[in-house]
Amino acid sequence: MQLIDLPEVEYVSEDVASTLNNMVTVMEGLLGRKLYPGDPVRLFLLGQAALQVQLMTAINQTARLNLLRYARGPVLDNIGAFTETPRLSAAAASTTVRVTLSAAQPTAVTIPAGTRVSTASDPKAYFATSTSATIAAGTLYVDVVAVNLTTGAAGNGYLPGQINQIVDPLPFVLSIVNTMTSSGGADIESDDAYRERIHEAPESFSVAGPFGAYEYWAKTANPAIVDVSVTSPSAMQVLVVPLLAGGAIPSQGVLDSVSAILSNSKVRPLTDQVTVAAPTTVGYNVTLTYYIKTGDSAAASDIQAAVNATIAGYVTWQKSKLGRDINPSELIRRVMMAGAYRVNVTSPVYTVVDPTKVAVAGTITATYGGTVND
Residues in the chain: 374
Contact predicate 142/111, CB 8 Å: yes
* C-alpha–C-alpha distance, residues 91 and 26, integer Å: 60
pLDDT at 289: 96
Q: Whole-prediction pTM value?
A: 0.64
Under 8 Å between Cβ of 248 and 183: yes
Weakest-pLDDT range from 194-198, 202-206, 332-336: 202-206
Angstrom distance (rounded) from CA 374 to CA 289: 17
- Considering the chain, what percentage of its residues have pLDDT values greater than 90? 67
Q: Which of 40-54, 104-118, 126-140 has the lowest mean pLDDT?
A: 40-54
Question: How confident is residue 133, by pLDDT bands cut at 50, 70 and 90?
Answer: very high
Pair 296, 371: CB distance under 8 Å: yes
Domains and CATH numbers, the chain: 3-64 (no CATH), 94-178 (no CATH), 191-278 (3.30.300), 281-372 (no CATH)
Q: What is the largest CA-CA distance in the chain?
A: 108
Q: State how far the Cα of 88 lies from the Cα of 59, in Å rounded to an integer.
A: 30
